[in-house]
Structure 1
Amino acid sequence: MPVPLDSDRRIPRTLLRDGVYLRLRDAIVDGTLAPGEQLRDGELATWLGVSRTPVREALLRLGQVGLVQARPGRSTTVAPLEPAEIRDARSVVAAMHRLAVAESVARLTDDDLAAMRAANDRFAAALAAGDTEAALAADDEFHAVPVDVAGNAAAATVLDQYTPVLRRLERLRFSSDAGRASVDRHVALVDLCAARDTERAAEVAHETWHSLHDLPDISDEEAS
């Protein structure tokens, strides 16, 4: 079809809104915006180069997933690492990964398994180097393989919503000795997937995420 003659080529509002949400979400997860920090929509809008409206919409969405706390008539702040919210998100994320692995084991190809092993190698190397950002990226790549192969859109949507809540906690895990155990769990998961042992592979996937409760006390980490 010919190129439309409409001169209005602005980015659709939905894309702008989602982009602002992702930028703010990532800034909270990586610590750029710290727990307890006050969030002023005007300052955030200036920082991101957008109007206040998509910022306000993004803050509402971030509040729904527990990354932001809004106090009517007072202030909006980055949410602290609340143990109860972490437990809730952990249970949901662990269950979705169990489901994704259960649905993908029979369909994982040799290339998929190789991609998981390669991601785990990068994950282990990043942990050894003390590179938390690279470790988080490699961990994302590892777990994305069975999620993508499963093709369960509902599970993927839930994971996209609640995994960021856990990412702040994972930063603590991957910067401590506790992160080393994840390498071994990843190896076990790939081996079980290769053996087409759906039940045990799904259980390891669940335990990999549910094991986040093994971390040191959250309040102690935030105070340090």
Structure 2
Amino acid sequence: MTLPESTNKLQRTFIREEVYHTLQDWIVTGKLEPGEHLRDKELAEILGVSRTPIREALLRLEDEGLVQTKPNRWTQVAPINLEEARNIYPIVWSLERLALTTAFDRTSNQDIEKMELANHCLKQAMAAGDHMAALKSDNDFHSVYINLANNDELNKLLSGLKVKLRRIELYYFDRMKDAGVSCAEHDQIINSLKQRDLKGALDAIESNWKNSLARIQLQAI
């Protein structure tokens, strides 16, 4: 039994994941701004790690579209791309419709109450201008029926797509004067679920995402 070697492997895996998630978070939240150059040596010094996990993380982030690289020249944070939002939003609302269709028969009153609580927290965060809390509450709202679908592959797909959307939504948050209407759209989903109206709930989910995209596009003009 080679416990020390096994422990070292676990530590290396932990470091790689920590570096990846840290850099991803810095990009999504804007700490690393669009177009900012990323130097593996500098990032390694900041995070107190070797350059290897930095390079591995940057490759993963490039695969996700959050980083751009020109071989032997530079690596930089990818710009905010509104066309990407136009491509991603329809996929998200289609997958969420699938999630709710799967979860509908097992959605309980307690689950609806969780959605109401998340929407209440979203309203409070919007009123306070708290970007991160608002996005977390919004995610909590949608996660109720996504998790009820009990489909790991569906969950993974949506999680990966929403990382990109979170970055876009944070970027435009301050300019979106009517972002609070999303709470009213959530209320429509909740009311449809209370009435056991699957079609109404599905249409309300799609409408919520379509309207979110329209609000972002309006601010980008």
TM-score (norm. length: structure 2): 0.89
User: Aligned partners of 1:197 and 1:101: how far apart in 2?
Assistant: 12
Residue in structure 2 matched with residue 121 of structure 1 by the alignment: 120
Match of 1:200 in 2: 200
SS of aligned partner of 2:4: coil
Q: What's the CA shift for 1:131? A: 1.2
Gaps spanning 5+ residues in structure 2: where? Answer: none
Q: Displacement, 1:171?
A: 1.8
CA contact (8 A) 2:172 2:219 kept: no
> Which stretch shifts more, 119-128 or 151-160?
151-160
- Partners in 2 of 1:160 and 1:193 — Cα distance? 23
Matched, 1:213 2:214: yes
| Aligned equivalent of 1:137 | 136
CA contact (8 A) 1:178 1:215 kept: no
Q: In the TM superposition, what are the counterparts of 1:62-101 in structure 2 within 5 Å?
A: 62-101=61-100
* Equivalent residue pairs, number: 217
Instruction: Give runs of ≥4 in structure 1 deviating > 6 Å.
Output: none
Q: Equivalences for 1:8-27 in 2 at 5 Å?
A: 8=5, 9-10=7-8, 11-27=10-26
Query: Is 1:6 aligned with 2:7?
Result: no
Report if aligned partners of 1:127, 1:174 keep a CA contact under 8 Å in 2: no
Cα deviation digits, residues 72-117 of structure 1 (max 9, x gap) = 1211111111122222222222222221122112111221111110
What are structure 1's unaligned runs of at least 5 residues? none
Percent identity, please: 38
In the superposition, the TM-score normalised over structure 1's length comes to 0.88
Residues 13 and 71 (structure 1), Cα distance of their counterparts in 2 relative to 1, 3 Å cut: same
What is the correspondence of 1:143-162 to structure 2 with a 5 Å cutoff?
143-162=142-161
Q: 1:215 to 1:59 in 2, by over 3 A?
A: same
- The answer for the alignment partner of 1:110 in structure 2 is 109
In structure 2, what is the Cα distance between the partners aligned to 1:168 and 1:184?
A: 23
The answer to whether structure 1 residue 58 and structure 2 residue 57 are counterparts is yes
CA–CA distance in structure 2, aligned partners of residues 34 and 173 of structure 1: 13
The one-letter code matched in structure 1 to 2:125 is: A
Cα RMSD over matched residues?
2.0
